Chain A
């Protein structure tokens, strides 16, 4: 379990929009020299991305640059890119530095314009609805700060390796989501008593027609929870294209596979969504399993709530430090509960010291933490952290292996060198 896969590559493009993404951004920006070093490590990506495409409209290129500057690209097309963990020194993750997960990538922008986009609410409802964005904004607006995390975040840490995007630590972020309650929309449509699941579909489409659509559903209890929202703003700005413009689902406390982007269709139905992305993918074993073992369908259930987890944002992996006090800081979050402790170990997990929880304390958000370490002695030191929530969940040293590499929440660690 080494972190050599970290920072495989960083996209570099000219960034005319840099000034627009500095809100709430406290972490130092990587120097160009560091970036260049990382590009050389990421030659494979340089091949994949190559120079700017000359015949793409300049406007599109600018939007793309804004959207992916400073992200670590795992897959160039459709785009999967994660946030460097140093960014998690701030409470809110800026939009342009928020991880991007694409099943098929954004639909053509004209489909999402005010004139063309609409939300259909159908199925087991008394009054099917067709709503424009303007119609939606007539419902009461609500803002919730919530962690959104890919189910596969940390997949690269599983051994044996599991298939899928090899996310390291940064397929997660904390943002302020503004929108309307899904509950209010469903109640306006009039839920019928046999409507047990609420299905979502977005406007994104695969290149090849035989690839199943990304269709998901959540149980009606979660759909009616007053904190489950249809968001049209992210950190006070209109939802960016890569994050689901003009409307996405946000299910606070749950993994992001329910947070459908470019939402166009809500269907109330008796059963879970059919199809690959609900019935096969995004399922997790309910019992311990061995690699290679056959798992009965009845032993798999949909990935829902997040598990307790913490990350070290500073210092960065591989940093050289002078002896003396060092501020170790990071974030910790859990599913529908609250973080109660974060602990740090400097002896490989034999003993743990409590970190100080700081900053805002809101449900569904992450909690920032800090620990002052008196760094002594020359050589390599490994800093570990683990969190515990109010349900009594504590991060394990390593998460139980599962065939899709979901829900990684093993102790986080960073290695640093202290000078003599």
Chain B
């Protein structure tokens, strides 16, 4: 049954790619800013809630400003510049007259979504000591202190650490409620976190 679910999900991702693709999205400055904003949404907002909470809103700039301000007040890790970028992105995309369903992003979707395994060249060897700090900043919110589990599963001793492919795929592209980290963490960061987790 799990296989069937996976097949359906993969099929849907393919279909979504077709639906959301926008041919010829040039990597201009505008697109670059949007990609950065999307990364912020996934990494900073996605820490506490899934992004569907954002994409269903239809708010004007002042209400987006108030919302982002509230989240910064509540500990969302956003610099003033990042918060400004985010408000600009959200107000342009999820405004009161936006159509019924707006995905978080259509940038880069002209290319097929990454489904194959990242090649081993993209997996540098990690430094466990660095990984501890990176984990505390980026992962601990969900996976708990010492990777002992919280909202997300316990990672200390988790079998996924023995599966290179699953580990990298999950971190880079997300899985289930876990956001994708490919725009936020470097390959080296991920390798460091992986190295630290293996010491637990």
Contact = CB atoms under 8 A, between A and B. Distances in A.
Interface string A140-182: 0000000000000000000011010110000000000000000
Interface centre among B9, B149, B159 (most CB of A within 10 A): B9
Interface residues of A, number: 46
Interface string B52-84: 110111111011000100000111100000000
A53 B155 CA distance: 13
Contacts of A340: none
Contact of B176 (A40, A49, A78): A49
B151 A50 contact: no
Contact of A40 (B12, B58, B62, B174): B12
A53 B175 contact: yes
B67 A5 contact: no
A44 to B, nearest CB: 6
Contacts, number: 128
Given A75-B50, A207-B141, A211-B75, A44 B55 contact: yes
Given A43-B19, A212-B74, A51 B5 contact: yes
B52 A55 contact: no
B6 interface: yes
Contacts of A165: 53, 56
Query: Interface extent on B, as a size class?
Result: 35 or more
Interface string B142-153: 100000011101
Interface of A: 4-5, 8, 12-14, 39-41, 43-57, 73-78, 80, 105, 108, 160-161, 163, 165-166, 206-212, 292
Interface of B: 1-2, 4-6, 8-10, 12-13, 15-16, 19, 47-53, 55-60, 62-63, 67, 73-76, 96, 100-101, 103-104, 141-142, 149-151, 153, 158-160, 166, 174-178
Q: When A and B form their complex, which 8 residue pairs have the shortest distance between CB atoms, in order from nearest? A: A210-B75, A76-B50, A77-B177, A14-B1, A208-B75, A53-B176, A161-B58, A77-B50
Given A52-B176, A56-B153, A166-B57, 15 more contacts: A8-B56, A41-B101, A43-B15, A43-B103, A44-B104, A48-B50, A54-B2, A55-B153, A55-B160, A76-B50, A108-B150, A163-B63, A208-B75, A210-B75, A211-B75
